[in-house]
Amino acid sequence: MSQRSILKGAHVIDPLQGIDRITDVVINDGKIETVGPTKDDATTPVMDFSGHYLSPGWVDLHVHTYGTLGFADPDSLGVYQGVTTFVEAGGPGIGTIDEFLAVMTGLETSLYAGPFIRPMGLLGLNYIEGDVRSLGEVPITRWVDFAKQNRDMLRYLKCNAIGDYGPGTLQITKGLANILHLPLYMHIGEFQMQNPEHLLAYEAFKIAEKGDMITHLYHGNLGKVVDDEGKVFPVVWEAQKRGVLFDLGFGGYNFSWDVAEKSWAQGLVPETISSDLQQFNVVRPVKSLANVLSVMMRLGMTLQQVIERVTCNPAKALFLSDRAGSLKPGMPADITVFRVDSGEFELSDCYQKSRTAEKQVVPVVTFKNGRRIDVDLERAQDESNWFLQIAEDHIPAAAGRFTGRELSFLRALASGLDKTEWELGSGERLDIEKAIELQEVFHRVRHEQAMPLRDALFAVYDCFMDKRFTMQMGLFLFRLERPFALARLREIAGDAGIQSHAGSAQVIA
């Protein structure tokens, strides 16, 4: 990594430093050395990026790498799309963030967390969210202790300003955010068919303070930023005047051309552009952060404006300016090289409306700490990356490689789970208490079996999935049908009751 390289000939856009011209960038030992005309020498390798743009590595402050909305291959949304830093928006809560930390290691993309106020984290699975209503569900001491030890990982605290619960959730989250010195990050826009009497979106704009963020600015659901005549609500402007930051958060339900165009015409513009990529929206309409940049350019932003909103602006909002968002000498050599193609491109919103654009942003090469990674947009689109299937008709191959210790843990887990009943059922309400109970069984058994958390999580995932999707164990077990889950664990690991006969790896050999 001690190699020095010259990236030559690209049009460099670094909004923080006011750079917007064709010049060279020198990287050395994983860091930015200089930006400016550089003479070739005989020993330094040169990469010619003539005809391309080059910016600080993009920062996507709202993705779902983990949880029920997550992906098998989180880097597919990161360095393979030109994104060098991303934030998991709400996947874990304080009750599951240990699981999150245990599995989300070894990524090439820098990952940070914006945990959710609910201890379990985001439920996803299309259940109604926003049900933290009492302080009893917010273990403040645990949060404070966790934040002390993992300060660097935490970048904001997330809650959803939706549902019919009144503003209690928002106030509680704001209070905890103050205690933890974190920005509050609030989702606005009701889900699906919900129709609460009192919309919390407007409470979010009242509660947010300077530095807090509100995401899904241009959503087209209940709780929009514009009224029926298309006029931006005063409460939105007032929040902006106080220094509240607005984030795009495109997502699968959260961007409407109609709302965006009306807001844009009145000067209501997000400070940060994020994708909200999930397994349910990566095929369409989000696709990639680059696609969202193209959408914002079609709306009217200049290239410089969109780059600012995925580099220095999110870095500042996340307090990451010391390591992301610019090409200042000494910064990590996190760089995105991209093209802006001309042609006719159809850009869809989340409501089956599209606009034809003349420009399209296409990332080409990413540098992460100076290491070159060629962009591969297909990687995120690969079905095995987003289609979470339980292997119902076969045992995943990874289960054939379990050690005796893992088999013993899985046997004990089957035995522990056998003592509880659960049923996913259908409808909008998740039996969260039951999911927590299953989570507790898992953790109790792994403690008893002295299984490291990561190994225990992977052992369970590998019993049921060919490709690992990492998520809260309570929710993972809860989504399995109980008879199937118990039968599968026993098929792989044997039955605790007949341990002497079925307790060896030969069962699955």
Partner 1 sequence: MTEQAWHLLPGIHPETSKFPARTTLDNEGIIVFRTQQGFRGVQRTCPHMQSTLMAAELIANDTMLRCPMHIFTFKLSDGKGVNCPGFRLRVYEIKQEENALYGRSIG
Q: Does 195 interact with partner 1 (rule: CB under 8 A)?
A: no
Kindly tell me which residue out of 2, 134, 141, 426 binds partner 1, with binding defined by CB under 8 A.
Answer: 426
Cα gap 475→496, rounded to integer Å: 24
Residue 402 token pair: 């379990």
β 19-28/31-35 pair status: antiparallel
Kindly tell me which residue out of 18, 37, 267, 425 binds partner 1, with binding defined by CB under 8 A.
Answer: 425
Q: Does 377 interact with partner 1 (rule: CB under 8 A)?
A: no
Helices 482-493 and 453-464, packing angle to 10 deg:
110
Residue list 141-180, contact with partner 1 (CB under 8 A):
none
| Residue number with CB closer to partner 1 (390 or 507) | 390
| Residue number with CB closer to partner 1 (46 or 125) | 125
Name residues whose C-beta falls within 8 Å of residue 399's C-beta, 6 or more positions apart in sequence.
462, 463, 492, 508
| Residue number with CB closer to partner 1 (267 or 425) | 425
Q: Does 284 interact with partner 1 (rule: CB under 8 A)?
A: yes
| Residue number with CB closer to partner 1 (118 or 411) | 118
- ∠ at Cα 167 (162, 169), nearest 5°? 75
| Residue number with CB closer to partner 1 (252 or 396) | 252
Question: Is-contact 431 445, C-beta < 8 A?
Answer: no
Q: Does 252 interact with partner 1 (rule: CB under 8 A)?
A: yes
- Residue 417: which of 376, 391, 445 has the closest Cα? 445
Q: Does 479 interact with partner 1 (rule: CB under 8 A)?
A: yes
Q: How many residues bind partner 1 (CB under 8 A)?
A: 22
**Rounded least distance, CB 426 to partner 1, Å:** 5
**Rounded least distance, CB 437 to partner 1, Å:** 17
Q: Does 192 interact with partner 1 (rule: CB under 8 A)?
A: yes
**Rounded least distance, CB 280 to partner 1, Å:** 5
Question: Is-contact 113 87, C-beta < 8 A?
Answer: yes
| Residue number with CB closer to partner 1 (306 or 432) | 432
Cα gap 241→203, rounded to integer Å: 16
End-to-end CA distance of the chain: 42
Kindly tell me which residue out of 46, 101, 283, 364 binds partner 1, with binding defined by CB under 8 A.
Answer: 283
CA dist list (Å): 98 to 2, 37, 56, 157: 34, 47, 31, 16
**Rounded least distance, CB 496 to partner 1, Å:** 27
Kindly tell me which residue out of 281, 294, 408, 470 binds partner 1, with binding defined by CB under 8 A.
Answer: 281
Residue 465 token pair: 């999935």
Cα gap 31→78, rounded to integer Å: 19
Q: Does 342 interact with partner 1 (rule: CB under 8 A)?
A: no
| Residue number with CB closer to partner 1 (253 or 442) | 253
| Residue number with CB closer to partner 1 (182 or 388) | 388
Kindly tell me which residue out of 51, 145, 181, 387 binds partner 1, with binding defined by CB under 8 A.
Answer: 387
Window 93-132: contact mask with partner 1 (x via CB under 8 A): --------------------------------xxx-----
Cis before 139 (ω within 30): no
Q: Does 58 interact with partner 1 (rule: CB under 8 A)?
A: no
**Burial profile 183-195: b = 16 or more Cβ within 10 angstroms, e = fewer:** bbbbbbbbbeebe
Cα gap 435→113, rounded to integer Å: 22
Binding site for partner 1 (CB under 8 A): 125-127, 192-193, 252, 279-281, 283-284, 386-390, 424-427, 430, 479
